[in-house]
Amino acid sequence: MEKEIIQISQKEISNAEREVIKRFATGGNDKYGRFFLAAISSIPWILPLSLIANLKGESDQEGLNNAFNLWLKEHEEKIKELINTVNEILDRLSSFRQDVQKRIESKEYIALVKKSFRVWDQVDTPDKRQMIKKLLIAAGAITLCPDDQIRLFIDWIEGYHESHFAIMKEIYVNGPISNGEIWDNINPGQNRPKDNSADAKLFSYFIRELNLGGIIERPRDVNDLGQRIRSPKQKTISSSAGDALPSIFDESKDWILSELGKEFIQYVMQDVDLQLAQ
């Protein structure tokens, strides 16, 4: 069956695509078979390929050819991206030490693979798919945090907007940093909008969500138990704006990443090789 499918569309599909069909048809019985099947089986639109493969005894060759070619045409670009992503992850995982190989074959890691690729299929930007790829590589190579936390990170990638991640990255690179400085760095050359504008309110919304999610926080001293110490009350300084509240782009208070936020950054933005070398 596998050879027939490959012969059907030699002109239409690449060697990489033929390889994924081969692996699918043979059940992924190789060194990374469990990873491969977990990733592929998590993609809903892959299911028709298995149905086509089961049509051998129920359909003539022409009908099989047509069914496969229609499926391939419909998903041509996305299957190429999927194959490239799987191959890139497997290439990186294969370069790690032996104890990492055991981790990759564990049922806990395979569960993360399934969840990750379900999200990978649903997100609509290349940046988020890149985060998923980096997260799976890091989750296989390092043990910075438990798998429950990795699942939370996957949910963040799915649920947060690219603007959330832009703010997180800015705080990671330049923090402690104020709202006004974050805005200026993300929007170089643009004037700050009025506080009652839609742009300002949206920016404030992103900041507030990251703070409520425990990803960013105000710098504050902590005691030996890690408990934050209350800052001494400061005298109120009269404003030239009279009774106006502090601006959304106020520069008197800074943001930093929380420990949870730092771990997320390490999984989705930092180089795994550098972390393994530490």
pLDDT at 102: 83
pLDDT at 238: 47
Is 143 buried (19+), middle (13-18) or exposed (0-12) by CB count in 10 A? exposed
Per-residue pLDDT tens over the stretch 88-105: 898 888 887 777 778 888
Per-residue pLDDT tens over the stretch 49-60: 555 555 555 555
Cβ contact 140:103 at 8 Å = yes
pLDDT at 123: 92
pLDDT at 11: 44
pLDDT at 32: 72
pLDDT at 92: 87
pLDDT at 253: 92
Counting as low any pLDDT under 50, the low residues of the chain are: 1-13, 27-29, 235-239, 277-278
Reference 126, options 77, 199, 188; nearest CA is 77
pLDDT at 94: 82
pLDDT at 52: 53
Whole-angstrom CA distances from 261 to 66, 115, 216, 265 are 49, 21, 7, 6
pLDDT at 37: 81
User: Could you give the domains of the chain?
Assistant: 2-159 (no CATH), 162-232+244-277 (1.10.10.10)
**pTM, 2 dp:** 0.77
pLDDT at 114: 94
